[in-house]
Amino acid sequence: MKESLNKLKDKTRELMVLSNIGSVLGWDQQTNLPEAGIAERAEQITLIQALHHDRITFPEIGELLEDLGCSDDAPGGTRDLDDVSRSYLRAVWREYSRAVKLPARLVTELARSASLSQAAWVKARQAKDYQAFAPHLDTLLKLNLEKARCLGYQDHPYDALLDEYEPWMKTADLRRVFRDLRTYLQGLLARISEAPQVDDVFLLKPYPVDRQEAFGRTVLADMGFDLSRGRMDVSAHPFTTSLGCDDVRITTRYNENFFKTSIFGIIHETGHALYELGYSQDIRGNILAQGASLGIHESQSRTWENLIGRSRAFWNHYLPRLKEYFPQQLSGIDMDDFYRGVNKVEPSLIRVEADEVTYNMHIILRFELETALLEGNLTVADLPLAWNDAMRDLLGVVPPSDAEGVLQDIHWSMGAFGYFPTYALGNLYGAQFFQRLRQEIPDLDRRIEQGDLGCILAWLRENIHVAGSSKTATELLKEVTGKELSVEPFSRYLEEKYSDVYELSGM
């Protein structure tokens, strides 16, 4: 049994190397690739995806898993193994059993189409031309529907695709969670809309990009991001990617006239990177060295960005330093002004720049559109109109062009149907984890005000990061908080915070 386990680890270690090579190609495509190289890059990525699929579906992988007692009923194999080994086997069995259901032809078509689609999306977004992108999206939708049929599902094709990003989560569960979340958020937003609006005009002044970057790098370092194990670049859409255990890349984007874009993008992506850099030594380099789910991954970035980065304690420490970089822009702005400004609630067009109250409405919108596309109740041709109608219904705003509307996110160009809900789940997981963190570090605000972000990273490392995907999202949440997933901690957090920002009366 030990020999079979070691053989399997050798085989899957190669899979991680192939994945990292694919990440190098993807990172380069979004940061440095010249336009003329797009077609060849698509072929390169396609080959890597084909090799990965070939390796994970190799008959010897199945034989080794069988030798170790793995099956649909016992994905972790024989109970004679230790817990880490059983978690490892569960992860390998899950990837293997999904991969063998997908024909190699479909895997390569998806990889090639997604690579070409991402390049087309960048150009279409710049030109505000949805019609130029629509054929690529139509192809990816059809391929994803075929993928869902191959993987199999009981209730909804979305289940098969969602499972790739949030394992074991079901569409029906999401609908229940989002129903409760939507009801609360609409009520809170209505109350806020009746209160006097806060003033954030000082954030819309020109903030030179070089000083934005300098300040952002200061915060990045304070958070604990080791630049000997990673780097930060610029891309059209901020992202984090791992090219290896000791090579994690993040990107951001800058808007000279909207300071929040870069700083909160940097804090957000650094939260992801810290998770990737925090896996324990005994799982580094194998399949467990990844997040428990994308929702858990997002809980780390959203916790740093919002629960910490938009907190009063955080800016009590950083506002004086920020004024050193931007003395004219922030002249006469006191702590209350700044705190309210960075927490202003106002329905807006762009998801990544949305406030904490309206952000999840953007996710609910995308979830509803995705499921309608997969059900056949919405066509790719009608998507822009459906998008605009949903924005009007949910947030009361309508995009002036498709660049600020249906083309704003990269995910559909990647063929990543099922990805968006993990952002909202991340907010819920994050609030639940943070509630526990506060209980265990009762003087947290004082520490943050003193610039001690290390205590937060240490707690996250010990309780969340080191485990990687050795625990499921549900197992991890239950172990850390003692509770199942709930909207309540997040709604309580929003209630307390925005009652302060907008001086709201109790519900």
Q: Which residues are catalytic?
A: 269
CA angle 312, 447, 233 (to 5 degrees): 70
CA distance 130 to 127: 9
Please, which residues have CB within 8 angstroms of residue 224's CB and are 6 or more apart in sequence? 274, 453, 454, 457
H-only helix segments in 68-208 = 83-99, 104-127, 130-151, 157-165, 171-193
CA distance 173 to 213: 41
- Token representation of residue 206: 């020109």
Q: By the 8 A CB rule, do 108 and 400 touch?
A: no
CA distance 449 to 314: 6
- Token representation of residue 239: 């992202």
Give the number of other Cβ atoms within 10 Å of residue 10's Cβ. 9
- Token representation of residue 274: 């810290």
Measured in whole angstroms, the distance separating CA 506 from the mean position of its chain's CA atoms is 32
Q: If we measure between CA atoms, which residue out of 115, 93, 109 comes closest to residue 144?
A: 109
What 3-state DSSP class applies to 84? helix
CA angle 214, 217, 221 (to 5 degrees): 145
